């Protein structure tokens, strides 16, 4: 069975003090969850938040890392640096980074490899635009995104990949994919994983849904057999909202 996960993606929100306060609040309200709980924070928060959540059930993720190992890349943050903060995960392939920072499948492949080489687990985001959905191209889009950046990994490396299906038209828009729409493509994604890594590995791969997921729609989404949890943007910025989604796992 795939691990059940609720992961937050704070994006470029919260200054350091606000981030520490939110992490503290989460350690107080999230107790004995029925899923893994991860918070994805900006780089500058990582080391401090790692201290705050030490000994709690909350795990830590970065939202990005460089596609170079080290050296003269002013302003970049390497996978090794991320790992040294205490973070265990990194979110890669988010549609905002693909779109606004021109992250191509090749760049993402380099980032994935460096993240894994440095002992990070990768939350790898895929998902189609509204135009692609309207042209019924969502399956070919997600398969190409997987093939372009992660399907070259060997079976051992694959165990450190979590997939987040995030239809771009549902991110931050208040428009959620219906549970049936999400389940249909999650099942397809799992079948793609099975083609490459076999049925057993596919069954053990966590496939998260992201896109305007909140406490009110999480129970219906998480009840679907191929939805193993959520990657949460807006609703991860308030402890009560995030906890509401975690509680959807019962």
Which of 6/30 has CB closer to ligand PEP? 6
Q: Taking the complex as a whole, how short is the minimal distance between the CB of residue 69 and ligand PEP, in angstroms?
A: 27
Residue 234 interacts with ligand PEP (CB under 6 A): yes or no: yes
Which of 146/231 has CB closer to ligand PEP? 231
Closest C-alpha to 146, from 177, 181, 189, 204: 189
Task: Give strand pairing partners of 125.
Answer: 164
**x/- binding map, residues 195-224, to ligand PEP, per CB under 6 A?**
---------------xxxx-----------
Residue 19 interacts with ligand PEP (CB under 6 A): yes or no: no
Using the rule CB under 6 A, give the single segment among 64-72, 80-88, 101-109, 166-174 that binds ligand PEP: 166-174
186 is catalytic: no
Residue 162 interacts with ligand PEP (CB under 6 A): yes or no: no
94 is catalytic: yes
Q: Is the dihedral of CA 201, 183, 219, 26 positive or negative?
A: positive
Closest C-alpha to 212, from 182, 176, 181: 176
- Cβ atoms of 157 and 124 closer than 8 Å: no
The residue annotated as part of the active site, out of 103, 113, 132, 166, is 166
206: left (phi over 0), alpha (psi -120 to 50) or beta: beta
Q: Taking the complex as a whole, how short is the minimal distance between the CB of residue 213 and ligand PEP, in angstroms?
A: 6
Q: Which residue is it, tokens 């990005």? A: 64
- Cβ atoms of 178 and 207 closer than 8 Å: no
Task: Give strand pairing partners of 36.
Answer: 5
Among the listed residues 4, 5, 6, 9, the single contact to ligand PEP using CB under 6 A: 9
Length of the chain equals 250
Which of 232/246 has CB closer to ligand PEP? 232
Q: Which residue is it, tokens 């099975």? A: 194
Please tell me the count of residues contacting ligand PEP according to CB under 6 A: 13
**Residues at the interface with ligand PEP (CB under 6 A):** 9, 166, 171-172, 210-213, 231-235
Catalytic residue positions? 94, 166
């Amino acid at each position: 069975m795939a691990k059940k996960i609720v992961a937050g993606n704070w994006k470029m929100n919260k200054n350091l003090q606000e981030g520490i306060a939110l992490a503290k609040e989460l350690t107080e309200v999230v107790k004995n969850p029925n899923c893994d709980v991860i918070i994805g924070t900006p780089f500058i928060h990582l080391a401090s938040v790692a201290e705050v959540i030490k000994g709690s059930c909350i795990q830590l993720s970065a939202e990005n890392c460089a596609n170079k190992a080290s050296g003269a890349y002013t302003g970049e943050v390497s996978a090794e640096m991320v790992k040294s903060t205490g973070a265990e995960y990194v979110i890669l392939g988010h549609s905002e980074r693909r779109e606004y920072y021109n992250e191509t499948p090749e760049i993402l492949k380099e980032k994935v490899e460096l993240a894994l080489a440095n002992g990070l687990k990768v939350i790898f985001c895929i998902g189609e635009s509204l135009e692609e959905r309207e042209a019924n191209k969502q399956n070919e889009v997600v398969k190409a995104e997987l093939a372009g950046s992660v399907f070259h990994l060997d079976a051992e490396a694959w165990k450190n990949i979590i997939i987040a299906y995030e239809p771009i038209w549902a991110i931050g828009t208040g428009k959620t994919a219906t549970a049936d729409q999400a389940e249909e493509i999650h099942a397809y994604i799992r079948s793609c994983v099975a083609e490459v890594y076999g049925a057993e590995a596919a069954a053990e791969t966590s496939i998260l849904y992201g896109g305007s997921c909140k406490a009110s729609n999480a129970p219906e989404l998480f009840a679907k057999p191929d939805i193993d949890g959520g990657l949460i943007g807006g609703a991860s910025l308030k402890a009560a909202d995030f906890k509401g989604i975690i509680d959807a796992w019962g």
